Amino acid sequence: MHILITGISGRIGANLAKALLDAGHSVRGLIWERDRRLEKFATMDVELVEGTITNVGDVARAVAGVDAIYHLGAAFQGGGPFTNSEYFEINVRGTFNMLEAAQTLGPKLQQFIFASSDALYEKYLPGGVAVPIAEDTFPLQPGGHYAVSKLLGEDLCRGYMRNEGLPITICRFALTVAGEEILDFRQFYLSHWRKSYSGLTSPEAKAVALQLDDAAKRVGENALLLARDGNGRGYKKHIADVHDIVAGLLAVLGKPAALGETFQLAAPQAFTWEEAIPYLAGKLNLPWVEANLAGHAPTYYEFDLSKGRRLLGYEPSFDIYRMIDEGLAMRAGLAVEVVPTFVGKRA
């Protein structure tokens, strides 16, 4: 297939481009003038088109003649700051422009794949999320202008599926990490929680802040923190390595079962702080402490990936241990080969 990727210069887009080339596809990428990280394409046979999804002419040039479109380009929290107006213009109007151009391809267009986000779910509830989050049944309650813009993008896609018959697939990404980022994940560190609690004023939160300050005096500011909720239950979170997001994007391509569907992409399973903190502390030779983080909405959720496994054969392979191990290998300057791996808990 001849495939267009918007947002190709991002870490997901660039990794996806390489994977598609390796699979024998030809790739065109739309390069935004505000994100010109082109060095990664020096060894890739990729056609690069300069432009922006907010310009109808640029979009028409980028879409011309392609068989499939990965629409990854977006304004997002980590790439900003963006104004509310920019979130609307880039994520909503830009998606509208892409869909309008896509329909001009007629039957040549085999698939339009839209990148959405787990920010559409309210994941941080006072008691945590009691059941695994399933993409077709869990309520969509976006918080913040980024999340609202992604929901509007999804709604546009669903509208073009119904009214124009476009072959669309929606993929919601979990929080995505790449390379060494998992080693510096803020919520693993005592310093992050001291800062978070410094602005809280409830008696419960103030008591926790004093406990955290005392821990910092004993073990140092750079210590890790095994976070628990107010009842002592360890935190649980479901994220993804960039390779598992790319694997999901490849899994939907060309699959009739993917058309008209929404899929959550994430790691093979959620991880708990009980698993991650002792393991990471041992690898980094850092001390760690525990704390019940009362007075604060806990992190406690996981995704149900059974739909992707059933319809697509989607089998992500980067659990928290593999993310840490390969992050350490990259930090040490070692080459990392992405191969299938055991994804269960370690003995």
Instruction: Name the pLDDT band for 299 (thresholds 50, 70, 90).
Output: very high
Tens-digit pLDDT profile for residues 166-210: 999 999 999 999 989 999 999 999 999 999 999 899 999 999 999
In this prediction, residue 314 carries a pLDDT of: 97
- Give the H/E segment covering residue 286: none
In this prediction, residue 338 carries a pLDDT of: 46
In this prediction, residue 341 carries a pLDDT of: 32
Cα angle 139, 142, 147 (rounded to 5 degrees) comes to: 135
Nearest C-alpha neighbor of 221 from the set 126, 168, 288, 311: 288
- The C-alpha R_g of the chain, in whole angstroms, comes to 21
pLDDT at 61 over 60: yes
The CA distance from 198 to 257, in Å, is: 49
The CA distance from 176 to 11, in Å, is: 10
Lowest mean pLDDT among 46-50, 168-172, 336-340: 336-340
pLDDT at 55 over 90: yes
Exposed / middle / buried, residue 280 (Cβ in 10 Å: 0-12, 13-18, 19+)? buried
In this prediction, residue 339 carries a pLDDT of: 39
Tracing tokens 């929680």 back to the chain, one arrives at 193
In this prediction, residue 80 carries a pLDDT of: 65
Average pLDDT, the chain: 92
Residue 334 is classified by DSSP as -
The CA distance from 145 to 304, in Å, is: 26
Can you identify the CATH homologous superfamily of domain 2-178+239-268+304-318? Answer: NAD(P)-binding Rossmann-like Domain (3.40.50.720)
Answer yes or no: are the C-beta atoms of 345 and 278 closer than 8 Å: no
* Domain definitions of the chain by residue range: 2-178+239-268+304-318
In this prediction, residue 347 carries a pLDDT of: 23
